[in-house]
A = this chain, B = another copy of it.
């Protein structure tokens, strides 16, 4: 499958490496590929520069947002929250078309120090903002409630027995993403929360997730819904 991943950070790198390893044709999209490749320093929390990362992952292509989207059967949005809208605008509504967009972003605002606050919440969400701005794209909010290493390897925690949430307005797209997340990474316990307004809850969970990370001393955890 041709997979376009938006964002060159840890989430984008982790998803790209895992999907390329499964044999998919992965292109990472960025605003300015030449600028991304020219960066000498790592952008924390990444440990190495993108250039070094790509040397270790030569199967993954780097392209503009528009090119990464245009060539893709499915797009995964792994940008930062503040960069999400402009990444999709760069890609363009025509390139996005009616493709499935897995939106893994969180509207975190680090500009006022730690802990981050949310740029949007309560009566709206980043997922809804993106879906409104690109009404044709079939946006499925998913993967935003866990650390990158766990997105692609749920088995690293509790034998994989924990819960992923998703939501979106397109029932077929959600069923397809559910199947892919199992095929790609082994996600078994996926709870569909309904339409895209559930992105509010999925994004507003982040402050609890961040404090739990602090309490446990590691982001390698998740919640399991038990009943």
Contact = CB atoms under 8 A, between A and B. Distances in A.
Nearest to A158: B226
Interface string A164-195: 01010000000000000000000000011110
A118 interface: yes
A64 B122 CA distance: 34
A206 B194 CA distance: 16
Copies in the complex: 2
A111 interface: no
Contact of A227 (B115, B123, B157, B202): B157
B198 A211 contact: yes
A190 to B, nearest CB: 11
Interface in A191-227: 191-194, 197-198, 200-202, 204-212, 214-216, 218, 220-227
A121 interface: yes
Contact of A221 (B115, B207, B209, B227): B227
A115 B226 CA distance: 23
A218 B226 CA distance: 12
A215 B202 contact: no
A90 interface: no
B214 A225 contact: no
- The interface residues of chain A, by DSSP majority, are classed as mixed
B221 A193 contact: no
Contacts of A208: 165, 193, 201-202, 204-205
Contact of A204 (B157, B163, B207): B207
A224 B226 contact: yes
Contacts of A14: none
A67 interface: no
A162 interface: yes
A175 to B, nearest CB: 15
Interface string A17-32: 0000000000000000
A192 B211 CA distance: 9
A49 interface: no
A117 interface: yes
